[in-house]
Amino acid sequence: MAARPLLFLDADGPLNPYAAQPERRPVDYTTIRVPRDTLAATGHGLLRSSARPLRVWLNPAHGEALLALGYELCWATTWMNGANTWIGPALGLPELPFVDFGDGLFRERPDGVHWKCEALIAYAGGRPFAWVDDEQSDADHAHVSAHHPGPALLHHVNPRIGLRDDDFAALAAFAASLTGPAAPADWPGITLPRAPG
């Protein structure tokens, strides 16, 4: 039996619509507050600070919807393993593997390819994958096409609204295209609320 495709999941943007208007919490989202010194302690790369905690908006329904897609979920976020402490539990997700970006974290490339891209290709090791993020560009699409031998979907999510039904449908369709006709009609159609624009 073939391994399930990977779903590389960014937290800020797709799950946490951080660019939504700050005075309005998205409907049906919960707010968590993450102490910034905790982020530093979990390898998030931020300095210890007495600044206000980081506000994160999360929709608990996203966890069930992600698990229903049939992918092998993997964090691909600057939160790295911190996503298992703060993001996953709020969504009802089990502990997930994560891509360790190590010294590549935030390291800009002269060719315009996103700093996550090479690490994701290496982690996938030729397996089909979908990458959900709010920062991909045409350079990333070209780089993945040229350097990854398997099928890949780079799915951009607007950080003002986060993941919505049409995003889940696109991910379900990609996964179905890898296995045959058992397709988007099988998507359970979990109705997700919209974050305000």
Q: Is residue 191 part of a domain?
A: no
- With 50 as the cut, is the pLDDT of residue 18 above it? yes
97-100 long-range contacts, CB within 8 A, separation 24+: 98/74, 99/8, 99/74, 99/75, 99/123
Q: How large is the average pLDDT for residues 15-33?
A: 81
Q: Is residue 1 part of a domain?
A: no
Q: Is residue 122 part of a domain?
A: yes
* pLDDT at residue number 20: 87
CATH of the domain at 36: 3.40.50
180 or 31, greater pLDDT: 31
* pLDDT at residue number 24: 64
Domain with 136 in it: 6-186
Number of domains the chain contains: 1
Give the chain's radius of gyration (CA, Å): 16
